[in-house]
Structure 1
Amino acid sequence: MEPTVTPAATPSSVGIRYGLIIGVVSAILSVIQLSLFEDPETPFRWVGAIVAIVGIVLAHKKFKELNHGFMSYGQGLGIGTIVSAVGGLVSSVFSYLYMTFINPEYMTRVMELQRAKMEAKGLDDAQIDQALGMAQKFSGGPMIIVFGLIGAVFMGFIISLIISAFTKNTRPEFE
């Protein structure tokens, strides 16, 4: 009988697992924010960033636990980026579904709120219409998913650059 060897975890396996968890938690937070707060620019929106940071740190910890305490900087960067990409995709798909099927009037309310804010700043109607027209092009339909994913990957990469510097533990060369 041959001994079984448990393979070490890969960055992608840990990243996907934690990305799905982060995506579901972000979707739940989105439900809370979209249903309780009229203005999308509340301080509550930063809770999602905290969730992403905690998720990346926990994913790094789990990877190191499964790999005998070792994780290179590149592996940490990859894990964090994968966590962010998967979490961003899940969260963006939820946002698309919410704004398209559950509450299609949501974007209209947001645009009206933005118009009021721009009028309070003293912008004229032509400038406001141009800004809102541009925003509407990029915030409608599947573009929500595309820009949500791009934003999540970009921010996750930046956050992972910093977190990986602290959580890395490279394997000694002569082991």
Structure 2
Amino acid sequence: MENTTSPAKSGLLYGLLFGVIMILEFVIGYVMNIDPQTNQGYGITINVLNFFVLPSTFIYLGCNNYKMKLNSGFISFGECLRIGVTICIIAGLISALFSSVFGMIFPEYFEEMYRKVSKMMMEKNPQMTSEQLDMAVSMMKKFSNPVIAIPASIAIYAFIGLIYSLIIGAILKKDANQSY
């Protein structure tokens, strides 16, 4: 029996959900005017969610959905890898595109963030010269540029997806019998 259902079908749905949740986290933080630099509990919570809890949860759900509903109870290690990396790439792309568009619509948000980071850097390291501070802020601005930020976000989330997919794939893997 030939498998005609693509693992991407499951990966696409859960990647979209993961990306939308990351957008909602950002929007809620913006609307409620929560500053991750001053409210470190919020920043840590968002990072734990976006880099640990949500990727592993959505990869597990995506692989399990493919295994149980789309592929008659079977899933190979390679299919788990494809699903997990697809989920994370789609989520990273959606999040990065939203952040870039948001930065174009509300450039004052990122300018305020740069000012806050500059102030925080000066408080933590008072012997820092103004040239060093300007260089650090210019590097932040370069890495915030969509041309760099979007591919970097995709690469980071692809790596995260690979790591979690390896773990989840080892747990969920169930190959079909190869008897003829």
Question: Does TM-score exceed 0.5, indicating one fold?
Answer: yes
Which residue identity lines up with residue 63 of structure 2 in the other structure? H
Does residue 1:156 correspond to 2:161, yes or no?
A: yes
The separation in 2 between residues aligned to 1:164 and 1:117, in whole angstroms, is 42
Which residue identity lines up with residue 59 of structure 2 in the other structure? I
The separation in 1 between residues aligned to 2:140 and 2:18, in whole angstroms, is 27
User: Which residue among 130, 138, 159 is the counterpart of 1:125?
Assistant: 130
Distance verdict in 2 for CA 1:68–1:157, change over 3 Å? same
Q: What residue number does 1:44 align with?
A: 45
Deviates more, 1:135-144 or 1:88-97: 135-144
Distance verdict in 2 for CA 1:126–1:31, change over 3 Å? same
Does residue 1:13 correspond to 2:16, yes or no?
A: no
Q: Following TM superposition, by how much is the alpha carbon of 1:8 offset from its aligned partner in structure 2, in angstroms?
A: 4.7
Alignment check: 8 A CA contact 1:39 1:113 kept: no
The separation in 2 between residues aligned to 1:108 and 1:161, in whole angstroms, is 39
Q: Following TM superposition, by how much is the alpha carbon of 1:100 offset from its aligned partner in structure 2, in angstroms?
A: 1.3
Q: Following TM superposition, by how much is the alpha carbon of 1:58 offset from its aligned partner in structure 2, in angstroms?
A: 0.5
Q: TM-score, normalised by structure 1?
A: 0.86
What is the Cα-based RMSD across aligned positions, in Å? 2.2
Alignment check: 8 A CA contact 1:39 1:110 kept: no
The separation in 2 between residues aligned to 1:166 and 1:16, in whole angstroms, is 21
Q: TM-score, normalised by structure 2?
A: 0.83
The separation in 1 between residues aligned to 2:35 and 2:62, in whole angstroms, is 33
- Structure 1 segments unaligned to the other structure (5+ residues): none
Distance verdict in 2 for CA 1:166–1:76, change over 3 Å? same
% identity of equivalent residues? 28
Q: What residue number does 1:64 align with?
A: 67
Does residue 1:23 correspond to 2:27, yes or no?
A: no
Q: SS where residue 162 of structure 2 aligns?
A: helix
Q: What residue number does 1:106 align with?
A: 109
Q: Following TM superposition, by how much is the alpha carbon of 1:57 offset from its aligned partner in structure 2, in angstroms?
A: 0.7
The separation in 2 between residues aligned to 1:67 and 1:168, in whole angstroms, is 12
Q: SS where residue 107 of structure 2 aligns?
A: coil
